Structure 1
Amino acid sequence: MKNRKVVLVGTGAVGTSFVYSAINQGIAQEYVLIDVNVDVAEGQALDLADGNAFLPHSFASIRVGTYSDCHDADVIVITAGRPQKPGETRIDMVADNAKIMKSIALEIKKSGFSGITVVAANPVDILTTVYYEVTGFDKHSIIGSGTSLDSARLRRLVAEKLNVGAKEVSAVLMGEHGDSSTPIWSTASVMGKPIAQYVAEGKITEAQLDEITHDAIHMAYKIIEKKRATFYGIGIVLADIVRAVVCDENKAMMVGAYLDGDFGHKGIYTGVPAIINNNGWSHIINWNLTAKEQAGFDASCQQLTEVVNHARAAIK
């Protein structure tokens, strides 16, 4: 079996948290780090390489590279962009980061890359759409991190309220990775038991579910306020997405996939349930949403479409 090669673009806290998680899981054998600040990338590579002798699955190499290294990569993970400032929404960053994403996309396309791209730069729904439109790559070969982290936060908060493990909770947020995401309680369950039954039994209330939703959606602001950035959670999520790709897991995840009439919308990437394998995302799972859920998703997609148009104008 040939070595799996992963290229990371952007060696800040999110990118290196991803690589740290990936090397601990033995996801790839070769890692290449690309960053405008070559010294930082080199320092990160050296620091990460120091742990190789202690890993359960050691890797072959981790080094600094250039976009020419993308040519034969299996997966490229893009986390580059300026960070979210305190009090700023992800949408506020759109013009600056759309220009950065365009330059990255053109370099990757020029390399002859033909693998899978995972985008986690914010605002991720907008920038995944920009990357798709600039590169012209197959839409299925591009995956946004979507609402995978948002949904993980929702699951954790429900689990804490019901005193169960987070893995036992199935609950998701759909739409924007951000303020307009909407909970899909109609599909939620704990140990296979619908969340509606827990509500009916008085074990959790509708008001508590609303509070959990609010806290999950606004968790990033709380973390940024306390330590200026979020990176460990998304790093673990990105490693999970990449593992699903390279191991061809056919795993259902809340990722950014391209809507082409799905849930009544088209022309943008956003957080929806999709199957992930070594072709990227193979298909979206179309649930029958309640009227309230559909309205929430509609509002999120409408906002994203408006912001995508701003991003398009910024990179003309």
Structure 2
Amino acid sequence: MGSNVRKIAIIGLGQVGSSCAYSLINQSICDEILLIDRNAERAYAQALDLSHGMDFIHSRTKIYTGTYEQCGDMDIIVLCAGANPAKAGDRMEVLDSAYAIHKDMIKRIMESGFNGIFLAASNPVDVVTYMVWKMSGLPRNRVIGTGTSIDTARLKILLSEYLPIDPRSVQGYVLGEHGESQFTAWSHVTIGGKPLLDILRQHKERFAHMDLDELSRRTRDAGWEIFTRKGSTHFGIGNAIAAICRSILNDDHKIMAVSTILDGEYGYREISVGVPAILTRHGIEEVLELNLNSREMIQFDQSCGVIRKAIESLPL
């Protein structure tokens, strides 16, 4: 990242890629955005449409279309290319197509001289993150997945409705797979710095209506609830991608639950899973190891088992 011009490429201009570009532009996160899609006409139309809103934004972002061969000087490449599952319930359903899409794509990107940071958003995102790491040969800190960042945001929204408070006053994480085996680390959820479990013990009658297992289920199923009604989720994840990019480019040291290649953390290696990590100009600066209780550690192991099984099914 030697250039002073902050450059991001987005590959895949479906709902997620387009929402990501819209968020990046409206938040003035970067100076240039390169759009790449297998449908060149769609990419051109999106670039044109997005550029027409520039007069209403306080700073200008140059947006244009191109090819993999132009990725050499990008700071971040956001990977959004992929298929939606045929029905709600299992993101692993699109694993084979994700492998086929990324195999040639990553090879061509690396041949361009790319030496920045990959940010994977395509599902199944934890497996795709691992796949991209293996295919690219980049250090683990420079291959990141959106992981459980969006699930964590959904959890905060749900909790804010029960308590009620601003969701930004909730601290905590959804961990594990961005999928059916994810779980909430309730032992680390705090409200304004106070542990949620302490609040529930001290105010049993006031919060008797709160069922933590049901809240975890609703958090897990929130994406499918949207998917079954309109066919995709894209605004929330578009903002999550933008937030990760902003933290990287601004060297924010922001902590987010992202899909990360583990190397001994939580007792695991050679696997990518959603855990809190510090995001900086170098990508993942450090993985935070939460002191999970025995139940949470069992849930973490089960989630890693699901991801590991999917990884081992690939010809990597």
Fold conserved between structures, TM > 0.5: yes
Structure 2 residue 114 is the aligned partner of structure 1 residue 113: yes
Matches within 5 A, 1:172-211: 172-200=173-201, 201-202=203-204, 203-205=206-208, 208-211=211-214
Aligned 1:214-233 pairs, distance under 5 A:
214-233=217-236
1:207 Cα deviation after fit: 5.6
**Residue matched to 2:105:** 104
Deviation track 1:104-155 (CA, whole Å, cap 9, x = no partner) reads 1111111110111110000000011010011111110111101000110011
CA shift for structure 1 position 205: 4.6
Deviation at 1:65, TM superposition (A): 0.6
Counterpart of 1:269 in structure 2 is 272
What SS does the corresponding residue of 1:216 show, helix, strand or coil? helix
Correspondences of 1:1-316 after superposition (within 5 Å): 2-59=4-61, 61-200=62-201, 201-202=203-204, 203-205=206-208, 208-310=211-313, 312-313=314-315
Q: Which amino acid aligns with 1:179?
A: E
Displacement of 1:86 after TM fit?
A: 2.2
1:206 is displaced (CA, Å) by: 8.7
User: Closer, same or farther in 2 for the Cα pair 1:57/1:287, shift >3 Å?
Assistant: same
| Structural RMSD (CA) | 1.2
Distance in 1 between residues matched to 2:36 and 2:85, nearest whole Å: 21
SS at match of 2:211: helix
Paired amino acid for 1:49: S
Quote the Cα distance in structure 1 between the aligned partners of 2:48 and 2:245.
22
The change in CA–CA distance for 1:186 and 1:88 in structure 2 (over 3 A counts) is: closer
Counterpart-to-counterpart distance in 2, 1:64 and 1:88: 34
The whole-number CA distance in structure 2 between the counterparts of 1:246 and 1:205 is 43
On the 8 A contact 2:89/2:180 being kept in 1, the answer is no
Which consecutive segments of 4 or more residues in structure 1 shift more than 6 A?
A: none
The one-letter amino acid paired with 2:129 is: T
Task: Tell me by how many angstroms 1:92 deviates.
Answer: 1.2
TM-score, L = length of structure 1: 0.96
Q: Distance in 2 between matches of 1:206 and 1:309?
A: 42
Amino acid at match of 1:270: V
> How many residues align structurally?
312
Amino acid at match of 1:230: T
- Partners of 2:162 and 2:210 within 8 A in 1: no
Pair 52,27 (structure 1): closer, same or farther in 2 beyond 3 Å: same
Contact 1:86 1:228 in 2 (8 A): no
CA shift, 1:182, in A, is 1.3
Percent of residue pairs bearing the same amino acid type: 35
Distance (whole Å) between structure 1 residues aligned to residue 172 and residue 217 of structure 2 = 14
TM-score, scaled to structure 2: 0.96
